[in-house]
């Protein structure tokens, strides 16, 4: 199977352009990368992956941010706003409380628009330029639209975003709006928005930049590469496990692909690949259901609900790439309640790290898996926090304490502070 960790590097097909091509993960059909607009396989409808004649080695990486990893990407540079190079925070109190050897927080909220989506867009919008398309579009729970709007306008292209009405956090809509996207609020959930934008893309109206687009996942691979380099520098070893929130499972797929390519290049031992561990909210957990049932396909959940709106997704489009990633690395998937998510959001905040609810799912999931003994106390773990606290100011305010009204008088305030 093409997605196994021990897969051989395939022969370079005639359609390759400068050593880059697209390959269907289901039937193996290959396609030229930049001749036509294509998101899925013409033959069987399967998901596509970007493949390279030359695989990256650690020695190839130089520079800063996403484009440090150009050797693992289809271009030398893209439409950039200095994305990537996010912090890998130490969290000593949380590490003690959870009871593991080492815990680091890879805070993707520190990207230009406040989420990891920027890493995908710097590559995806560059592909749009290569293809010469006019209008870019996405369906979004919020962060994809913020990133697409910023990178689209930076690349001098029009952007259209479809959002589920009433279900997108305030900061994200504000970003899409100010960065000049045309915003359509759809009377339906995220999955309905994605169905529609896929139809618009099929009619040639827009270029689709959801994570179904294989080039976006190339940019997101760099999260995994940064985590590996950070652990190698600080601990002289790669992490045992990476825990991450799962919505459409793009990141899970991207990290797995990054590690698979390093294994194929002989840069990483198959047994050392970090265990990919996905976390969903109880009210939107189709991937967890599939992993628990050992199923190859995900059952679409039509009714999803969680205050972690960024992962309020019932039909994870990248599941066929992500499920092998979780299985082959010996990882797992777990669901957590909204209360557990908010508790984890507060615990991160106590360490000075401000994240939006979906991001905190990773820490909530790790806590749960450590408590149940699935995660051992001798593990070194990286948790991914995907978006910044200010993305969802309402959720942050609700999770924090209330302001106390006082008169504008020092003596009254001193008296108030005694209470
Ligand atoms: C997009 C997003 C996710 C989900 O990521 P997938 O790659 O779709 O699984 C999680 N958290 C935040 C904050 C996001 O913006
Ligand atoms: Zn196919």
Question: Would you state the pLDDT for residue 146?
Answer: 98
Query: Which of 250, 257, 298 for a ligand 1 pocket mutation test, highest count of atoms within 8 Å of Cβ?
Result: 250
- Are 361 and 261 in the same domain? yes
Crossing angle of helices 357-371 and 338-350, rounded to 10°: 100
pLDDT tens string 118-172: 999 999 999 999 999 989 999 999 999 999 999 999 999 999 999 999 999 999 9
- Are 49 and 135 in the same domain? no
Digitized pLDDT (tens) for each residue of the chain, 419 residues in all? 579 998 888 899 999 999 999 999 999 999 999 999 999 999 999 999 999 999 999 999 999 999 999 999 999 999 999 999 999 999 999 999 999 999 999 999 999 999 999 999 999 999 999 999 989 999 999 999 999 999 999 999 999 999 999 999 999 999 999 999 999 999 999 999 999 999 999 999 999 999 999 999 999 999 999 999 999 999 999 999 999 999 999 999 999 999 999 999 999 999 999 999 999 999 999 999 999 999 989 999 999 999 999 999 999 999 999 999 999 999 999 999 999 999 999 999 999 999 999 999 999 999 999 999 999 999 999 999 999 999 999 999 999 999 999 999 999 999 999 98
Q: Can you tell me the distance from the alpha carbon of 145 to that of 123, in angstroms, rounded to the nearest whole number?
A: 15
CA of 50 to the centre of ligand 2 (A): 14
Both tokens assigned to 195:
């169905």
Q: Is 386 in the pocket of ligand 1 (CB under 6 A)?
A: yes
- Are 204 and 279 in the same domain? no
Q: Is 164 in the pocket of ligand 1 (CB under 6 A)?
A: no
- Are 286 and 366 in the same domain? yes
Q: Is 211 in the pocket of ligand 1 (CB under 6 A)?
A: yes
Residue 195 CB partners (closer than 8 Å, separation 6+): none
- Are 138 and 273 in the same domain? no
Q: Can you tell me the distance from the alpha carbon of 182 to that of 258, in angstroms, rounded to the nearest whole number?
A: 33
Burial classification of residue 289, based on how many CB atoms lie within 10 Å of its CB (0-12 exposed, 13-18 middle, 19 or more buried): middle
Contact 347, 97 (CB under 8 A): yes
Residues with CB under 5 A from ligand 2 (ion): 24, 26-27, 29, 41, 43-44, 46
CA of 63 to the centre of ligand 2 (A): 36
Residue nearest (by alpha carbon) to ligand 1 atom 4 = 247
Crossing angle of helices 117-131 and 214-235, rounded to 10°: 140
Q: Is 108 in the pocket of ligand 1 (CB under 6 A)?
A: no
Residue 66 CB partners (closer than 8 Å, separation 6+): 73, 78, 80, 83, 84, 85, 119, 122, 123, 219, 222
Q: Is 387 in the pocket of ligand 1 (CB under 6 A)?
A: yes
pTM of the model: 0.97
Q: What angle do CA 181, 114, 302 make, to 5 degrees?
A: 70
CA of 410 to the centre of ligand 1 (A): 46
Q: Which residues of 380-402 are buried (b: 16+ CB within 10 A; e: fewer)?
A: bbbbbbbbbbbbbeebbeebeee
Of all ligands present, the nearest one to the C-alpha of 2 is 2
Structurally, how many domains does the chain consist of? 3
Question: Would you state the pLDDT for residue 355?
Answer: 98
CA of 23 to the centre of ligand 2 (A): 8
- Are 100 and 244 in the same domain? yes
Would 407 be classed as within a structural domain?
Answer: no
Question: Would you state the pLDDT for residue 8?
Answer: 85
Q: Residue 287: which domain range?
A: 88-114+214-399
Would 404 be classed as within a structural domain?
Answer: no
Which ligand 1 atom sits closest to the C-alpha of 108? 13
Question: Would you state the pLDDT for residue 419?
Answer: 87
- Are 228 and 364 in the same domain? yes
Burial classification of residue 330, based on how many CB atoms lie within 10 Å of its CB (0-12 exposed, 13-18 middle, 19 or more buried): middle
Annotated binding site: 143, 247-251, 386
- Are 222 and 354 in the same domain? yes
pLDDT tens string 368-416: 999 999 999 999 999 999 999 999 999 999 999 999 999 999 999 999 9
- Are 161 and 194 in the same domain? yes
């Amino acid at each position: 199977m093409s997605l196994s960790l021990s897969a051989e590097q395939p022969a370079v097909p005639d359609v390759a352009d400068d050593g880059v091509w697209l390959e269907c993960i289901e039937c193996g059909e290959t396609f030229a990368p930049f001749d036509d607009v294509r998101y899925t396989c013409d033959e069987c409808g399967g998901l596509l992956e970007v493949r390279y004649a030359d695989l990256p080695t650690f020695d190839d990486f130089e520079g800063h941010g996403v484009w440090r990893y150009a050797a693992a990407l289809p271009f030398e540079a893209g439409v950039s706003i200095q994305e990537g190079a996010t912090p890998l925070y130490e969290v000593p109190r949380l590490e003690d409380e959870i009871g593991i050897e080492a815990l680091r927080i890879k805070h993707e909220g520190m990207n230009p628009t406040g989420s990891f989506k920027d890493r995908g867009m710097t590559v995806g919008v560059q592909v749009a330029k290569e293809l010469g398309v006019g209008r870019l579009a996405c369906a979004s729970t919020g962060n994809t639209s913020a990133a697409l709007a910023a990178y689209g306008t930076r690349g001098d292209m029009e952007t259209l975003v479809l959002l589920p009405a009433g279900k997108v956090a305030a900061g994200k809509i504000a970003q899409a709006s100010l960065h000049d996207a045309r915003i359509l609020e759809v009377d339906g959930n995220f999955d309905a928005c994605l169905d529609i934008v896929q139809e618009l893309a099929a009619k040639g109206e827009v270029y689709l930049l959801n994570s179904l687009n294989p080039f976006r996942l190339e940019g997101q691979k760099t999260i995994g590469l940064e985590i590996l380099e950070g652990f190698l520098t600080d601990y002289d070893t790669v992490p045992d496990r990476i825990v991450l929130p799962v919505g459409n499972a793009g990141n899970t797929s991207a990290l797995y692909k990054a590690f698979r390519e390093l294994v194929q290049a002989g840069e990483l031992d198959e047994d050392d690949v970090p265990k990919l561990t996905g976390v969903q909210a109880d009210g939107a957990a189709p991937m967890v259901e599939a992993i628990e049932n050992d199923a190859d396909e995900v059952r679409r959940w039509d009714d999803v609900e969680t205050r972690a709106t960024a992962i309020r997704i019932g039909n994870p489009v990248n599941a066929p790439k992500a499920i092998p990633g979780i299985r082959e690395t010996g990882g797992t998937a777990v669901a957590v309640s909204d209360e557990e998510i908010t508790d984890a959001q507060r615990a991160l905040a106590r360490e000075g790290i401000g994240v939006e609810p979906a991001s905190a799912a990773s820490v909530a999931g790790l806590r749960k898996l450590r408590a149940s003994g699935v995660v051992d106390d001798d593990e070194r773990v990286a948790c991914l926090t995907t978006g910044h606290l200010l993305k969802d100011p309402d959720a942050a305010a609700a999770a924090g304490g209330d302001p106390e009204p006082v008169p504008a008088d020092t003596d009254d305030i001193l008296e108030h502070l005694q209470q």
